[in-house]
Structure 1
Amino acid sequence: MQFSPIRTAIIAIVALLGVLFAIPSFLPENVRESWPGFLPRQTVVLGLDLQGGSHLLLQVNQEGIVTERLQSLRRDVRNVLANQNGIGNITTTDAATNTLTIELTDPSQKEAARSAIQSLQNTIGNSLLAVGGVNELSFGETPDGKLTITLTPEGVEQRMSALVAQSIEVIRKRVDELGTTEPQIQRQGTNRVLVQVPGFGDSQRLKDIISRTARLTFHMVYPGMSAAQAEAQGLPAGTIVLPSQDGGKELIYEDVALGGESLTDAQPGFDQQTGRSVVSFKFDTRGAVTFSDITSKNVGKRFAIVLDNQVLTAPVIQQPITGGSGQISGSFTPQTANDLAVLLRAGALPASLDVVEERTVDASLGADSIRSGLTAGIVAGILVVTFMVVAYGLWGVFANVSLVLNIILIFGALSMLGATLTLPGIAGIVLTIGMAVDANVLIYERMREEQRAGKSPIQAINAGFERAWGTIIDSHLTQLIAAIVLYFMGSGPVQGFAVTLALGILTSLFTSYTVTSYQVKLWYGLRRPKTLRIQHFRFIPDGTKIPFMKISRYVIAFSIVASLASIGSAYFKGFNLGIDFVGGTAIEVQHVGGPADVGKVRELLDGLNLGEVQVQGFGTPEDVLVRVQAQEGGQDADQAAVSKIRTALASDNYELRRTEAVSGTVSGELAWKGTIAVLIALGAILIYIWVRFEWQFALAAVTTTTHDVIMTIGLFSITGLEFNLTSIAAVLTLVGLSLNETVVVSDRIRENLRKHRKMPLPDLIDLSINQTIVRTSLTQFTVLLALIPLVLFGGEVIRSFTIAMTFGSIVGMYSSIIINGPILINFGLKARSETDEAEKPRKADRASV
């Protein structure tokens, strides 16, 4: 109870900093701008689910890169052998093995050819090491004497890594051209790029701008033969056939006469004669000279402008163009002309990118999510604060002051770190409200025990804080382990939940112990009471002696049956898997002007030939959720399906509010990562408890927690609740909550093992549970007070998450109280008297020796 000035100053400084960093998030922008420069202005960054916007996960198309590189290498081989050295050859490509096979027309020149093609070796540097590199090509020979060139796996990987880095810069330029604010563009793994653009709700346009390669090239059109004739008679050497924008085909020379890298500017405009939208472009000096030379030598011939292997236009060169500028015409609208100009100004992507995950949230839905989250948080806060005052009176006020400061510190830390707050993140803060009072309940209940044991008020207060501290640390660290695993194994909103949960755990350690003890010290110094009247209300009276061990066999039998039922349901019935795990598209629509008609929506979509389509009510009577299976044909087919649904429903006044599209590749990865996350969390907690307690406690805790996970997963299967990425977050959080309860009981068992050495172990476990059940019931009730408002007001998006959390927390309390003890006995935990008796022969043997 002695507080030094330094400790007091630390509390004051931390509280002041928390308030200063948290306040800007709740003030209008004009007020923040008028603040003095030395005050923080940074606010909490709202996630896309709260402010609306688009989220795209792009993956470099490795097949396209390899195919293009083989084509380029084929041209290089032909040039090196035929043009430079006069060695005739026939080159064939094997895409399966990434190999070129070279058949020489004159086999006697094999060694000269071998030497010539080895000059094409390319060393790709490793950007991480910045020294050396890997060879891109390997050279060999077939059994029948043909030369081979193969792209090495290391070379392909290094090329992809370099292309991702280049792609990020091009994407950033393109997004900046759109005028959006605070876009997030970052690398994910070796071959993916994550793009999040807040406030930009047109995901189709964003996808078109970001994922298009926008490689502009200029080619001469092959004269005297149409594309159809060439395909019928055989392509002339050095030519290719490409589709044109008007639906036809063009036969052009394969060699690029001029590349788009020479462009310096591109602007949308209108043709002065026809009034149609066009894109005007301008070359740099080198490009202008080349363009002038090409048009001067080919007057009267056709010149094709090609964008991403499609001929935009192929006009006849009427006269030499010497000004270094020109225009691209076609079937453009003003917006598509502007978007093409944006693409050309930003430059071409070095590789094609596939959209493997797409999430779009309408701004109005984001506002609804904020409103739902705030409502749930306010209701939960009022319930918890009121209950603490009812249960503990003035001591409840102390806990509430610490709780309010805890929430302020969470928002202050989120602002200071620039962390993103998502809807599951709000759920994490609300859950923290319930969990934050747990430490205070532990401390207060310990004080009551110490006072009943005959200690003076000051001794009871000191003992309450000191003896509860170890249990508080253990229970909070087990939850922190789950939060850390969630952060590193999760993505997007799940990471947002993990951040707020972890921050809440850390700030709770500070406020519930240090801040509460400071308030108690001030109060005690002023009042000096003879006795401490801490608790005013309780669910279970003092001195309860419930014989848990006597009924444990029946309870364990029930748990075994329930667990087998959960496993059986999961195996035979399966789960209602969300888009995260099965791939496909989920679309939330809202009916304008009244309740939605699910049957009518189903009728409108039946004739679209989209495969399996599920339609169900979602949240309010106006909302409907449409789930469509992944379409054959990849991302373009998925987007076409969304467009069909939008058009079909627009006729009946339905508006799109949210779109999620996940490819099969990503859904498989998410399912695997979720399973690994649960296993890693259990393993890490097992190690921690093993170190802090004994091995029996660790195995019992993990067994108990596994039981809770099985029961909760069974809930998803039996009830048909959607099992998605946030469900994994719910399961991992339950791991922490369940272990929180288990650790409290285990800590009391360990303490009583030292205190009551001759008490039979079943009686000792009963005593420990009865001593902690008051705290457990109060803590569980406060957690439920926080979770139930989330279920009722948190919104449909996190409904399955909050229901699973509520069910799992109840199951966690049940298993920690009734199941954990018998498991400890079955794992061989012994009372201290039994341990001492076992040690006597060994001590006697050592003494005789």
Structure 2
Amino acid sequence: MNQSPFRVAIILIVALAGILFAAPNFLPQQVRDSLPGWLPQPGLVLGLDLQGGSHLLLEVDRAGIVAQRLSDVRRDARNVLANQNGIGNLITTDEANNAIYIELTDPTQKEQAISVLQGIQNTINNSMFSAGVGVNELAFGERPDGRLSITLTPDGITQRMSSLVAQSIEVIRSRIDELGTTEPTIQRQGDTRVLVQVPGFGDSTRLKNIVSQTARLTFHMVYPGLTADQAEAQGLPAGTIIVPSQDGGRELLFEDVALGGESLVDAQPSYDAQRAIPVVSFRFDTRGAITFGEITSRNVGQRFAIVLDNTVITAPVIQQPITGGSGQISGNFTTASANDLAVLLRAGALPASLNVIEERTVDASLGADSIQAGFTAGVVASVLVVTFMVIAYGLWGVFANVSLVLNIILIFAALSTLGATLTLPGIAGIVLTIGMAVDANVLIYERMREEQRAGRTPLQAINAGFERAWGTIVDSHLTQLVAAIVLYFMGSGPVQGFAVTLGLGILTSLFTSYTVTSYQVNLWYKRVRPKELKIQHFRFIPDGTKIPFMKISRYVIALSIVMSVISVGAAYFKGFNLGIDFVGGTAIEVQHQGGPADAGRVRELLSGLELGEIQVQGFGTPEDLLIRVQAQEGGQSADQIAVQQVQDALAGDNYEVRRTEAVSGTVSGELAWTGTIAVIIALVCILIYIWFRFEWQFALAAVTTTSHDIIMTIGLFSITGLEFNLSSIAAVLTLVGLSLNETVVVSDRIRENLVKYRKMPLPELIDLSINQTIVRTSLTQFTVLLALVPLVLFGGEALRSFTIAMTFGSLVGMYSSVIVNGPILINFGLKQKTDEELTSKKEKTTDGASV
């Protein structure tokens, strides 16, 4: 109870800093603009699900890169052999093996050919710290039939893809900046992916076209005197290619690029008054203008093709030399498409094709509804928890509530300082923290009551309460922190948002529940000097309860086995109602304007679209429906067409699209795999921690009871048909932390009593330990439910399956920790320690400390 000035200063500084850093988030924008610059800017960022916007996950097209590189290598090889050295050859491409094969017309020139081909070797180096050291992109060899081979190396392909992703990020950022949006998030994910999130930009189709279109502009001469069909019939002339045109035809072009789009310095949407059509005007740099002038001067009367992403936009006849370095691109443009093309050309071409493998769009009105739902759930949960703590503990409940309020302030301050994104599941994490944060104070208060009943003075009881509860608090919080860390690194998007708020809440709770509460109690004690501590005013279970848990354990274990078998059986035979996250496809949330939605009518409207399996179900309010469309065979572009078909079919019936999610089969498979791995990693980490802190019997028993809780919760998803999605994995991992929180508290008391009551039979000792902690367990569990139930009722449909699973899992976790854990400890061989064993262990601890 001795509060050093340093500790008091730390508490006051942290509290003041928390208030200063959190307060700007709740002030009007004009007030925030006038605040000092050292406060966090822009502060707390709302996620797309809270303010609306578009989310795209893009992946570099590996097959496209390989095909393009093989084409480049083929051209380079033909150039150094035939054009520069007069070595006749015939080149074939083997895309299956990432190679080209060269057959020489004169085999005696093989050594010369090998020598000159070495000159096209390319070394790729992506690291600034390894200058001069890189990866060879090409491997040279000779086949048994005498042909020479040039193969793209696996390391070379990987390095090139990584380099192209870095270049793509800069191009994407330039394009989005041209759109005038604010605070876009553009992040690299691994070696092949780019995450793009643009808050407040609701037109995902336009964003996708702007971001993912390669926009590689090239200029080629049209091969004269021969059409594409004629060339295809009689054989392509050397060095030519057939390219589709925008009007549906095809053109025969020279393969060599006469001029590249990299020479462009400006592109602007314009209007051709003579033809009355939108066009795009462009201007070359000096070098490009000279080249353009030379080409047009040499080829007057010939056709000159402008090719965008392997499609001929236009191929006009050169009427006269163009020496000014500028020109026009005309095609089937609208005013909007001409503007978008100008944006693409100004920002530059993507160095590689990017495929959209995950797409999510949230309407701003839905975001506002989500904020309202989260705010309502948070307020209701806070009022319930705060009121209950005052009813249960009186003045001591007020101490806990002050710590709780500071805890929430510190969470918002930390989120603002880190520039973290607050999502709807993140709000759920804060609300859940409200329920869990009081657990530490309940542990401390119950320990004080026990110490006072044991005959200690009020001051001794207060000191012992804080000191003896601290170890249990740390153990229980760290097990939850493990789950939050695994969620952050294995999850994505909203799941990471939940993990961040949950993890920060756990850390701030360690500070507020112990340090801040002890400071308040210290001030109160010095002022009042009570002769007796009147801590608790209400409890669910009376003191001195002696429930014979071990006598009914065989029936409880039998019930648990039966329920586990039912859960596993339901999962195996019935399966799950898997969400888009795990099966791929498209989910579209629509709202009917002007009355309740008619699911039957919507099914009827969509039945003739021939999009495969379509599910229509109620979602939240009577006006809302959720439409699921299976993944289309044509990939991402076909999925987008399917979404547009659904929107067009429903437009006439006053349905407004509020949210769309499109997930490819690649991403869905990865999410299912990483979710499973996350649960396993969490269990292993917790097993190691508890083994280190307790003994192996406690660790195995904790993991067994937690696995039991996971099985039961997964069975809930299967039996009830709740949607199992990415948030469900977050629910499972969080209940792992909650369940272990209860288990650790009981196990810690069992370990303490093993030392205190060395002669007591183990079943009686376990009964005693459970009865000693069950008052605390019931109170803590009730506060957690007070936080979770408002989330179920008011948190919105998007969180429904998540919060129901959390509520069910917390109840199952309490049941298993109280009743199932004890018998498992006995079955795993937990025994009483002899005096010699305890003395030996104490000596080892002392020796370790002295070292």
What's the TM-score, normalizing by structure 2?
Answer: 0.97
Q: Which residue of 2 aligns with 1:240?
A: 241
Q: Which residue of 1 aligns with 2:583?
A: 582
Q: Is 2:376 the partner of 1:368? A: no
Secondary structure at the counterpart of residue 491 of structure 1: coil
User: Does the CA-based 8 Å contact 1:20-1:40 persist in structure 2?
Assistant: no
Structure 2: how far apart are the matches of 1:31 and 1:120? 61
Greater CA drift, 768-777 or 267-276: 267-276
Once the two structures are aligned, what percentage of the paired residues are identical? 80
CA displacement, residues 529-558 of structure 1 (integer Å, 9 cap, x when unaligned)? 111111111100011000000000000000
AA matched with 2:35: W
Gaps of 5+ in 1: 841-849
Q: Is 2:672 the partner of 1:671? A: yes
Structure 2: how far apart are the matches of 1:297 and 1:501? 69
Structure 1: how far apart are the matches of 2:119 and 2:219? 29
AA matched with 1:130: S
Q: Which residue of 1 aligns with 2:188?
A: 187
CA displacement, residues 416-438 of structure 1 (integer Å, 9 cap, x when unaligned)? 11111110000000000000000
Q: Which residue of 2 aligns with 1:304?
A: 305
Quote how far apart the aligned CAs of 1:228 are: 2.1
Quote how far apart the aligned CAs of 1:833 are: 4.8
Structure 1: how far apart are the matches of 2:807 and 2:160? 49
User: Does the CA-based 8 Å contact 2:270-2:278 persist in structure 1?
Assistant: yes
Quote how far apart the aligned CAs of 1:246 are: 1.3
C-alpha spacing 1:300/1:836, structure 2 compared with 1 (3 Å): closer
Structure 2: how far apart are the matches of 1:102 and 1:416? 60
Quote how far apart the aligned CAs of 1:81 are: 1.2
C-alpha spacing 1:59/1:814, structure 2 compared with 1 (3 Å): same
AA matched with 1:465: F
User: Does the CA-based 8 Å contact 1:126-1:134 persist in structure 2?
Assistant: no
Q: Which residue of 2 aligns with 1:532?
A: 533
Q: Which residue of 1 aligns with 2:111?
A: 111
Structure 1 residues 710-729: aligned runs within 5 Å:
710-729=711-730
Q: Which residue of 1 aligns with 2:393?
A: 392
Quote how far apart the aligned CAs of 1:39 are: 4.5
Q: Which residue of 2 aligns with 1:455?
A: 456
Secondary structure at the counterpart of residue 220 of structure 2: strand
Structure 1 residues 308-319: aligned runs within 5 Å:
308-319=309-320
AA matched with 1:530: K
Q: Which residue of 2 aligns with 1:466?
A: 467
Secondary structure at the counterpart of residue 66 of structure 1: helix
Structure 1 residues 219-618: aligned runs within 5 Å:
219-618=220-619
Q: Which residue of 2 aligns with 1:846?
A: none
Structure 1 residues 664-813: aligned runs within 5 Å:
664-813=665-814
Quote how far apart the aligned CAs of 1:43 are: 1.9
Q: Which residue of 1 aligns with 2:80?
A: 80
CA displacement, residues 174-229 of structure 1 (integer Å, 9 cap, x when unaligned)? 11111111111111101111111111111110110111110001111112222222
Secondary structure at the counterpart of residue 196 of structure 2: strand
Quote how far apart the aligned CAs of 1:231 are: 2.2
AA matched with 1:11: I
Quote how far apart the aligned CAs of 1:629 are: 1.0
CA displacement, residues 560-583 of structure 1 (integer Å, 9 cap, x when unaligned)? 010111111111111111111111
AA matched with 2:80: V
AA matched with 1:118: Q
AA matched with 2:664: S
Gaps of 5+ in 2: 842-851
Secondary structure at the counterpart of residue 119 of structure 1: helix
Quote how far apart the aligned CAs of 1:837 are: 12
AA matched with 2:252: L
Secondary structure at the counterpart of residue 538 of structure 2: coil
User: Does the CA-based 8 Å contact 1:42-1:416 persist in structure 2?
Assistant: no
Quote how far apart the aligned CAs of 1:413 are: 0.7
User: Does the CA-based 8 Å contact 1:734-1:812 persist in structure 2?
Assistant: yes
Q: Is 2:94 the partner of 1:94? A: yes
Quote how far apart the aligned CAs of 1:275 are: 2.1
User: Does the CA-based 8 Å contact 2:138-2:151 persist in structure 1?
Assistant: yes
AA matched with 1:527: V
Quote how far apart the aligned CAs of 1:7 are: 1.1
Q: Which residue of 2 aligns with 1:54?
A: 54
C-alpha spacing 1:598/1:749, structure 2 compared with 1 (3 Å): same
Structure 2: how far apart are the matches of 1:186 and 1:837? 55
Structure 1: how far apart are the matches of 2:410 and 2:741? 22
Structure 2: how far apart are the matches of 1:95 and 1:582? 30
C-alpha spacing 1:37/1:217, structure 2 compared with 1 (3 Å): closer
User: Does the CA-based 8 Å contact 1:24-1:41 persist in structure 2?
Assistant: no
Quote how far apart the aligned CAs of 1:635 are: 0.8
C-alpha spacing 1:126/1:23, structure 2 compared with 1 (3 Å): same
AA matched with 1:462: N
Greater CA drift, 27-36 or 87-96: 27-36
Alignment: residue pair count: 840
Quote how far apart the aligned CAs of 1:656 are: 0.9
Secondary structure at the counterpart of residue 633 of structure 2: coil
User: Does the CA-based 8 Å contact 1:758-1:833 persist in structure 2?
Assistant: no
User: Does the CA-based 8 Å contact 1:218-1:258 persist in structure 2?
Assistant: yes
AA matched with 2:491: G
CA displacement, residues 600-626 of structure 1 (integer Å, 9 cap, x when unaligned)? 111111111111111111011111111
Quote how far apart the aligned CAs of 1:128 are: 6.1
Quote how far apart the aligned CAs of 1:232 are: 2.4
User: Does the CA-based 8 Å contact 1:32-1:41 persist in structure 2?
Assistant: no
Structure 2: how far apart are the matches of 1:462 and 1:624? 57
Secondary structure at the counterpart of residue 622 of structure 2: strand
Structure 1: how far apart are the matches of 2:737 and 2:135? 46
Quote how far apart the aligned CAs of 1:233 are: 2.5
Greater CA drift, 129-138 or 728-737: 129-138
Quote how far apart the aligned CAs of 1:319 are: 1.2
AA matched with 2:407: N
User: Does the CA-based 8 Å contact 2:40-2:416 persist in structure 1?
Assistant: no
User: Does the CA-based 8 Å contact 2:48-2:367 persist in structure 1?
Assistant: yes
Secondary structure at the counterpart of residue 380 of structure 2: helix
AA matched with 2:6: I
CA displacement, residues 477-534 of structure 1 (integer Å, 9 cap, x when unaligned)? 0000110111111111000000000100011111111111111111111111111111
Structure 1: how far apart are the matches of 2:626 and 2:203? 19
Quote how far apart the aligned CAs of 1:234 are: 2.3
CA displacement, residues 50-98 of structure 1 (integer Å, 9 cap, x when unaligned)? 1111111111101000101111111111111111111111111111001
Structure 2: how far apart are the matches of 1:774 and 1:384? 17
Q: Which residue of 2 aligns with 1:122?
A: 122
AA matched with 1:69: R
RMSD, aligned CA: 1.4
Secondary structure at the counterpart of residue 355 of structure 1: strand
Secondary structure at the counterpart of residue 236 of structure 1: coil
Greater CA drift, 306-315 or 41-50: 41-50
Structure 2: how far apart are the matches of 1:27 and 1:468? 39
Greater CA drift, 579-588 or 826-835: 826-835
AA matched with 2:267: A
What's the TM-score, normalizing by structure 1?
Answer: 0.98
Structure 2: how far apart are the matches of 1:465 and 1:637? 62
Structure 2: how far apart are the matches of 1:299 and 1:33? 60
User: Does the CA-based 8 Å contact 1:21-1:41 persist in structure 2?
Assistant: no
Q: Which residue of 1 aligns with 2:849?
A: none
Structure 2: how far apart are the matches of 1:677 and 1:93? 43
Structure 1: how far apart are the matches of 2:687 and 2:34? 52
Secondary structure at the counterpart of residue 523 of structure 1: helix
Quote how far apart the aligned CAs of 1:242 are: 1.2
Structure 2: how far apart are the matches of 1:171 and 1:456? 68
CA displacement, residues 304-353 of structure 1 (integer Å, 9 cap, x when unaligned)? 11000001111111111111100001111111101000000000111100
Q: Which residue of 2 aligns with 1:843?
A: none
C-alpha spacing 1:298/1:39, structure 2 compared with 1 (3 Å): closer
Structure 2: how far apart are the matches of 1:185 and 1:363? 20
Secondary structure at the counterpart of residue 460 of structure 1: helix
